[in-house]
Chains A and B, each alone.
Chain A
Amino acid sequence: MNAQAGALLRLESLDVRFGATHAVRDLSLHIDAGEKFALVGESGSGKSVTALALMRLLRGATVSGRILFDGQDLMALPEKGMRAVRGSRVALVFQEPMTALNPVRQVGRQIAEVLELHEGLNPEAARRRAIELLARTGIVDASSRIDAYPHQLSGGQRQRVVIAMALACKPRLLVCDEPTTALDVTVQAQILALLDELQAEMGMALLFITHDLGLVRRFTHRVGVMERGRLVESGATESVFARPQHPYTQRLLASRPQRRLSAPPEPVQPLLTASGVGVEYVRQRGLWRREAHAAVDGVSLQVRRGETLGIVGESGSGKTTLGMALLALQPLARGEVRLDTDRIDNAAGAALRSMRRRMQVVFQDPFASLSPRRTVGQIVGEGLAWHRPELSPAQCQEAVLQALDEVGLSDRHGVAGLLHRYPHEFSGGQRQRIAIARALVIRPQLLVLDEPTSSLDVSVQQQILELLAGLQQRHGLSYVFISHDLAVVRAMAHRVLVMQRGRVVEEGEVEALFAAPAQAYTRELLAAALLD
């Protein structure tokens, strides 16, 4: 296609600095009218900054270069002229619909506001248009939903409202910054289908900012790959995926989860057995009435030594609550959990303490799972001091260093002065390694991994998965691997459990289950997960 002539948006040597930090370097690209362009890269690559820069929404940044939109240089526009462009000709859809909407105003009012501002509609006409837009974005019963507050809608509905708001003035360019990242896979697929449909109908251009390669491949015409503020490669999506030229693109594409598992162990006595586990949350309804809500409902499972049991499901399916119940961190309403033959759910005192030593946990968010005011040495050494008080301080330190070395953090990996440093001095992947070391140092037999890679970049994710697989082989560890990411579970688990609304809907060997899912829900999940 002859891009240079008909380009809707052209960025010429865009450069963004925040003080000493060079966020975007010499970036040039173009997007044609009606085109779907994706900007991919890992966190910190500058893709979101680029989107904000082209709408001139960056504060405290030094921006240079040219931004040509429809032949007009946005950089030269005064702030007032820019306000007319934002929202009406270029619109933005954010990642997190809950924070993008004002929680104390009805969604209809928020959409109508845009229309009154940019199109000069009167309140009644604006309301009618808002209902049309909501109906168009697939909200059932739009004329009553229009008076709902954001918290009364589901995540997918909220994102539809945000899209309706962005589309209100028929923009020529829609910038979507990770529009589906915060949503469940099945909802993700619906939102993408909606965007696709609307784009074709309205003929607008889409700039898609994402880290999700599967989505890029399915959804966009052209793609640009960013690494540390530079556009390292761009071209038609098919050709970039088929023949990546730049080493970074090749690495990114290769870093999709690979199966690196040892053969499943022989069926022996299970290490962990849960039978009929139920967890209830009690909600106070009025003054006297209490209502029990079953977060986990009658789940039974077994984990053998050296085996990984994957638990998949969407948000609210109860998989994390189940994990906490297995660890005896959540009181059970029904059922029992046994480690070998001993019950852990009603154990207490020394018995519980010795069982705690045998099972540990690694959480999703490496920022929240390490106490920010304790050093790495204190964090990793704490469990050791508690469970093995017979060790001398020198032996403790030795064991801590060994555990850190095992997860790839030590002097010989180029990370010096580890013990006295605080978690915030490490990257996300390194923090997750610290969290794994904290769990490993007391030599547990079972690890509950609660979305251990969900907040990490793809290449880092692959490294952590390899680390976990290696540790399992060396120590014969059992894993309970909780994830919403089917690709990761497929790579990591021997057996898998599919959960929906607190119940197990399907269970089986990973490959068999993924190849021939028996339940409709599982099929839906798999179809939405864009596995290829």
Chain B
Amino acid sequence: MTLPIPEETALPPRAAAAAGAASPGGRAWARFRGNRLGWVSLWVFAVLLVVSSLAELVSNDRPLLARHEGTWFVPVLNNPPEVSVGGDFRTPTRWTDPLIADEFAKHGNWALYTVNRHSAQSTNPFSDAAVPGAPSSEHWLGTDSQGRDMVARLIYGFRVSIWFAIVLTAVGTVLGIAAGAVQGYFGGRLDLTMQRLIEVWGAVPELYLLIIFASIFEPSLLLLLVLLSLWGWIGLSDYVRAEFLRNRSLEYVKAARAMGLPHRVIMARHVLPNSLAPVITFLPFRMSGAILALTSLDFLGLGVPPSSPSLGELLRQGKDNLDAWWIIGPTFLLLVGTMLLLTFIGDALRDAFDTRKA
């Protein structure tokens, strides 16, 4: 018998154009790049992430490389004692010391410094400038209330915040998807039981627990991460559960069951990709939420250990020194900029996951 001819042999022009591109992954990537704003944001964010992750190589009071009297030093890794570079003491070299600077001005000696010659903790005891100090050629964004360089504080603080947010978001998303998927896919009694347990768990006053734990244990990032992760997944799991409940009754899931596929494959391959819309939508907001959570805990003094750089700690300093605009201003701009970048990237991510877009 002859095969019937399909009723619509010619493709619509849009589909024909899209059919040219190769793999599904390649097309998703093309969709992401199609969102110019998101694409540019991703680049800017990537640069910020790389720069802050390599903070020690960008902003440090110790040189990257130094040569003194024919001997090589790598102070960024291993700070030599002062005596070995012409100083008087056996203590680690203080590179801002005028004596050391003179030593390295001599012929044949040199030191290669980082772009910004301050670390987050370094102060200059040899300078008698007022603190907090306004921006100058020495301190591009001024100094904070302890005389530490603002640029360095921002870079190091951003690193802590952003990595904390990435890890917290990743853990929360994985837990949220797992819990929501199991509830929504299997439904029934299991769903009901888990839902009640989650309600009880969600009713625990998180902030009080944080305060209590902060007074019992040494405050640390790990402790914060664990405590915030314990509750961070709850909101997301509700959305994922609803999506799974809706999608599991659709015919393509029945078709996959008729095919004999096991539940885990159906969940991962069929239901999950179609349930990711809320996950993707909330991802940038979860990231910025995590940054803000750490920032506000730092601000309250419940966050990272005192004296370690963080955006929240800078905000608090800004509040205490309202006349020093160079503390509150750049911190605020960095926070707002980061949130914007994340939101734009999230938009582009949603486009990339929408297979209907050409």
Interfacial residues of chain A within 413-451, with CB under 8 A of chain B in the complex: 413-417, 420-422, 424-427, 429-430, 433, 435, 438-439, 442
* Cβ contacts A to B, 12 pairs, < 8 Å: A324-B254, A329-B257, A369-B250, A373-B274, A374-B273, A386-B260, A414-B9, A415-B9, A420-B21, A421-B15, A425-B12, A463-B6
| B4–A466 touching, CB < 8 Å | yes
Other contacts beyond A365-B251, A413-B9: 4, CB < 8 A: A361-B254, A414-B10, A420-B22, A466-B4
A360 within 8 A of B: yes
Residue in B1, B6, B273 whose beta carbon sits within 8 Å of that of A409 in the complex? B6
B131 within 8 A of A: no
| A408–B4 touching, CB < 8 Å | yes
A209 within 8 A of B: no
Interfacial residues of chain B within 1-51, with CB under 8 A of chain A in the complex: 1, 3-12, 15, 18-24, 27
Chain B proximity mask over A350-381: 1 for CB below 8 Å, otherwise 0? 00110011011101110011111111001000
- Give CA–CA (A370, B6) in the complex, Å: 18
Chain B residue with Cβ nearest A369: B251
Shortest distance in angstroms between A393's beta carbon and chain B's nearest beta carbon?
Answer: 14
The answer to whether A470 and B1 touch (CB under 8 A), given A360-B258, A361-B255, A369-B255, is: yes
Chain A proximity mask over B83-105: 1 for CB below 8 Å, otherwise 0? 00000000000000000000000
Most buried by A among B7, B250, B274: B7
A383 within 8 A of B: yes
A23 within 8 A of B: no
- Give CA–CA (A371, B256) in the complex, Å: 10
* Count of chain A to chain B residue pairs whose CB atoms are closer than 8 Å in the complex: 128
| A371–B274 touching, CB < 8 Å | yes
Residues of B within 8 A of A128 (CB): none
Chain A proximity mask over B254-287: 1 for CB below 8 Å, otherwise 0? 1111111100010001100110000000000000
Shortest distance in angstroms between B29's beta carbon and chain A's nearest beta carbon?
Answer: 14
Chain B proximity mask over A332-362: 1 for CB below 8 Å, otherwise 0? 0000000000000000000011001101110
| A386–B6 touching, CB < 8 Å | no
Shortest distance in angstroms between B39's beta carbon and chain A's nearest beta carbon?
Answer: 22
Shortest distance in angstroms between A482's beta carbon and chain B's nearest beta carbon?
Answer: 13
Shortest distance in angstroms between B277's beta carbon and chain A's nearest beta carbon?
Answer: 10
Interfacial residues of chain A within 457-471, with CB under 8 A of chain B in the complex: 457, 459-460, 463, 466-467, 470
Residues of B within 8 A of A356 (CB): 258-260
- Give CA–CA (A435, B258) in the complex, Å: 13
The answer to whether A382 and B356 touch (CB under 8 A), given A360-B259, A409-B6, A414-B10, is: no
Residues of B within 8 A of A473 (CB): 1
| B260–A387 touching, CB < 8 Å | yes
Chain B proximity mask over A50-77: 1 for CB below 8 Å, otherwise 0? 0000000000000000000000000000
Chain B proximity mask over A137-168: 1 for CB below 8 Å, otherwise 0? 00000000000000000000000000000000
| A413–B20 touching, CB < 8 Å | no
| B355–A422 touching, CB < 8 Å | yes
Residue in A371, A413, A438 whose beta carbon sits within 8 Å of that of B270 in the complex? A371
